[in-house]
């Protein structure tokens, strides 16, 4: 598959439709990675917004530094500490939901405290485990880069994407009902607590794989912007979801092309493209439609 994609990219470069950098195999991997991640978060974005979990996803991204330290401690390579990342991020997501349900604190306060502490704890743990401070290790987690994605990383991306799609297909109706009216959802037999735990675990897995592409500091943009833009263009749930997926994929591809044509890091370029789409949609939505 990668050979075919590399060949296709080379043909598009020859026609002048892609920047010259796309002749390299690592750019083909990067292209596939941003398509997967863009589509994944385009699918999740409307559900995250409906459940008001945008700030929550940023906290999960910050916990990744602790996951890297745990992975290295367990003997994983620092370039791909997947067990540590998945384990710590999922546990952090489940703990945040548990604490929000049990503690007498507003959800945003609880997440804010976790957000402030997790990055500092992660850097400290990474220094203790590696016995040195390497700013490049920290930058890799905070900012990510699809250009460093390997074939093994793509395999993880594909597996997580498949799991997320199945989970969303099975739970979307219950998630929306619980978000709109928890009492009605409980009366309908929806196990709301279990549903929330399952959803945040799935979201945590998506956040982990997105770190390789946009990093911990920018992952929230993938969660928020596609659905926010789509909601400016339509009020239908199905249309919003479809538009969100398209925006995520197209924004990722155009961002990667922008990065290859300039000095802008790929993660930042992807977010800039998505942000530009939101601004255009917002301007269009604000223009009066004339008398009815």
Locate the domains of the chain by residue range: 32-278
Predicted pLDDT at 226: 93
Predicted pLDDT at 279: 94
Contact between 49 and 39 under an 8 Å Cβ cutoff? The reply is no
> How far is Cα 30 from Cα 52, in angstroms, rounded to an integer?
30
Judge: domain 32-278, CATH 3.50.50.60.
no
Predicted pLDDT at 136: 62
Here the tokens at position 22 are 């796309």
Predicted pLDDT at 240: 92
> How far is Cα 209 from Cα 108, in angstroms, rounded to an integer?
24
**Per-residue pLDDT reduced to its tens digit, 243-290:** 999 999 999 999 999 988 888 888 889 999 999 999 999 998 888 765
203 backbone dihedrals φ, ψ, rounded to 5°: -60, -40
Q: Residues of the chain whose pLDDT is less than 50?
A: none
What DSSP assignment string belongs to 200-262? HHHHHHHHHHHTTTT-TTTHHHHHHHHHHHHHHH---HHHHHHHHHHHHHHHHHHHHHHHHTS
pTM: 0.86
Predicted pLDDT at 291: 58
**Per-residue pLDDT reduced to its tens digit, 229-252:** 999 998 888 899 999 999 999 999
């Amino acid at each position: 598959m990668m050979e075919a994609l590399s060949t296709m990219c080379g043909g598009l470069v020859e026609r002048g439709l892609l920047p010259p950098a796309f002749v390299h195999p690592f750019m083909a991997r990067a292209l596939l990675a941003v398509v997967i991640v863009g589509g994944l978060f385009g699918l999740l974005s409307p559900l995250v917004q409906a459940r008001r979990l945008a700030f929550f996803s940023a906290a999960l991204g910050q916990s990744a530094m602790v996951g890297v330290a745990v992975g290295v401690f367990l003997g994983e390579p620092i370039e791909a500490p997947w067990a540590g990342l998945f384990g710590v991020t999922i546990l952090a997501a489940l703990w945040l939901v548990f604490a929000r349900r049990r503690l007498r604190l507003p959800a945003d306060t609880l997440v804010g405290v976790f957000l402030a502490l997790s990055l500092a704890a992660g850097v400290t743990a990474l220094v203790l485990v590696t016995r040195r401070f390497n700013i490049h290790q920290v930058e890799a987690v905070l900012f990510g880069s699809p250009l460093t994605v390997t074939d093994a990383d793509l395999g993880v991306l594909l597996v997580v994407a498949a799991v997320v799609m199945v989970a969303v297909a099975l739970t979307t109706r219950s998630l929306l009902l619980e978000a709109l009216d928890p009492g009605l959802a409980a009366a309908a037999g929806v196990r709301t607590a279990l549903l929330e735990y399952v959803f945040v675990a799935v979201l945590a897995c998506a956040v982990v794989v997105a770190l390789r592409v946009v990093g911990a500091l920018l992952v929230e943009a993938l969660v928020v912007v596609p659905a926010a833009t789509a909601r400016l263009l339509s009020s239908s749930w199905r249309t919003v979801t479809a538009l969100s997926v398209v925006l995520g994929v197209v924004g990722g591809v155009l961002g990667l092309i922008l990065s290859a044509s300039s000095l802008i890091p790929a993660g930042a370029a992807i977010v800039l493209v998505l942000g530009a789409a939101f601004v255009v949609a917002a301007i269009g939505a604000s223009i009066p439609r004339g008398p009815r």
